[in-house]
Amino acid sequence: MSIVDQPISTKDTNNKSNNNKISSEKNINRIFPPSIPFKKDDIESSDEWGFEDSGFNINENGHATFTGKRYGLSGLEMPVLVPWICDMMQVEVKKEDVHTSNYPNQIPDAINHPEFLKLVKKILKEEQISEDAKTRLRHGHGQTQEEMYNIKYGKLKRIPDLVVYPTEEEQVRELVAAAVANHVVLIPFGGGTSVTEALSCPENEIRFIVSVDMKFMNRILWIDKVNRMACIQAGAVGRHISNQLEEYGFTMGHEPDSIEFSTLGGWIATNASGMKKNKYGNIEDIVLDVNVVTVNGELHRSSIAPRESVGTDPRQWIFGSEGNLGIITSAIVKLFELPEAKHYGSIIFPSFEEGTAFMYDLAKAGNPPASVRLVDNVQFKFSMALKPATVGMKVFKKKMESFIVTKIKGFDPDKMVVSTLVFEGSKEAVEAQEKRVYRTAAKHGGMKAGSENGEKGYQLTFSIAYLRDWIMKHYLLGESFETSVPWSQLLSLCENTKARIFKEHAAMGLPGRPFVTCRVTQVYDTGACVYFYLGISYKGLENPPKTFNQLENIAREEILSSGGSLSHHHGIGKLRQHFLPQIMSKTMIDWNRLMKEAVDPDNIFGVGNLYNSDSTHSNTQNSKILGENE
């Protein structure tokens, strides 16, 4: 049985861990939760997004269906979805017309390093070490369209030579020491959900590469119920963190779209944001302390205070470090008591402009709902296409609702948009917030669309993530990318980016019509996050991923020229490296590079993110190793 299919027995390391901080304080306030149980039905797919038992299909009627039992769409038949995609993108999608996957195809051979492997076998048990080809392949990529396309229809040129699974901090320290002594590259691996090529191995790396999978360092080590803090290991997955904290009456409040699969360590390494950021903050607001194993030792503190003024804090370098500086082993995070009330809501607006004005007013007034998102008209229609066929009285109800919205209220079906909301807090606070929000919406022509639609819209986030791999089988490529932008430039950025994509798609002579849509998500005093989705038909193209990347890069250029950021929460990885000189001065880039070379002079954490993997430093190191091997 492969290591990915079985749990590993772990020791209770509470007394050993450097994360038992505030050592002078008696632990009377602390709870020590048990290990998170391993569930056999939570097997994740190796070649597609998500759980193995879930995903879209086309049935004998030519209708879309969704397998499994985990999601609101599970078991449903969606007769409108396939025809809607065909009409929107001017393509044909048929059950029998499938681009057959060759996964796993052309897995690169592993480099041998007997001396290092001998050391690893002294540090870890046999079941914590994997040289299996498919396991190595999975650890050599994230979730970009190019990576997922290549594992099915092409190949990855470089992947890890070994995968290890530490279960305690001491093992991580010994692994790093062994890597330093043997000039081995270490790449931390969390949930594998990166969409920036952050997990891809540098093609020019000739050294032995080890993927350090943190999945079994997944415990909540302690919960401080009085001071509302918890110490959590970096490999803990979002859904497990949420479920276990809830048992004790708490939440972190951090819910990225990838919460089912991404990890605490990954959130810190990418400087992530979540759907409920408005209430609970981004990851940098939630994390109080972080423990990191570096080539020179550990970053850790003896105590945690509400705030400090102690000079430059090296731990801050870890936010957004993307695996370049060390291995995050655990973090201490803020906790929030579970809200007394949780209500969903939805509002229809006559146009994207009115909906955006509503979002701006919410931000200006302060204290917006925990989550408020606005989707454009295309995404609104897309959500309608995901609904199952209606029967009986539901048909009459649907027609009446449509009549009220389009005939009585006068909403144009080709312009109307929808906002979904989540309210959390005390009963009184939620009630007051709802009144204020709906009053603000009315000023912009908004019409309440019900809590049921709000909840469905919120939960839909998790199931639509499975669309990318499904449509890829039918000759369509899709990807998401995000930015943040000041309020005054938000509308023009959305309009400019969409127009530029359509223009360039036509100029490139690509088949069909591009699928382009956006939504406004996290809001700030000064602006908001905008999330784009892009889809194209690749039938007949010589190099589909390259063509898609060209179009996405053009969109990114337009975003930057329209006042948007390079990234809001996905990070840089290798996908966006070449844009850094456009947003940072040479001095800023040099400072980042010098810091990397100072704290990791031999580039042991040689994942190649943020800093160009073809840099002089990297090539010099490879020449050094070549000379030693000769």
Task: Give the residue numbers marked as catalytic.
Answer: 531
Q: How far apart are CA 234 and CA 241, in angstroms?
A: 11
Q: How far apart are CA 602 and CA 184, in angstroms?
A: 9
DSSP assignment of 315-353, as one string?
Answer: GGGGTT-TTSS-EEEEEEEE-EEPPSEEEEEEEEESSHH
Closest to 322 measured CA to CA, from 107, 67, 580, 513 = 580
What does each C-alpha distance from 519 to 301, 467, 481, 500 come to in angstroms? 40, 17, 11, 17
624 three-state secondary structure: helix
Q: How far apart are CA 55 and CA 64, in angstroms?
A: 10
Q: How far apart are CA 282 and CA 263, in angstroms?
A: 15
CB burial of residue 411 (10 Å; 0-12, 13-18, 19+): buried
Q: How far apart are CA 212 and CA 620, in angstroms?
A: 25
What does each C-alpha distance from 83 to 86, 257, 382, 399 come to in angstroms? 5, 27, 11, 20
Hey, how many other C-beta atoms are within 10 angstroms of the C-beta on 6? 10
- The amino acid occupying position 50 is G
Asked whether the beta carbons of 279 and 424 are under 8 A apart, the reply is yes
Handedness of CA 297, 299, 300, 301 (dihedral sign): positive
Q: How far apart are CA 505 and CA 496, in angstroms?
A: 14
Strand order through the sheet with 77-78:
55-58, 64-67, 77-78
Closest to 449 measured CA to CA, from 391, 404, 390 = 404
121 three-state secondary structure: helix
Closest to 222 measured CA to CA, from 10, 9, 14, 11 = 14
- The amino acid occupying position 269 is A
Report strand pairing: 209-213 vs 185-189.
parallel
Closest to 604 measured CA to CA, from 160, 177, 159, 119 = 177
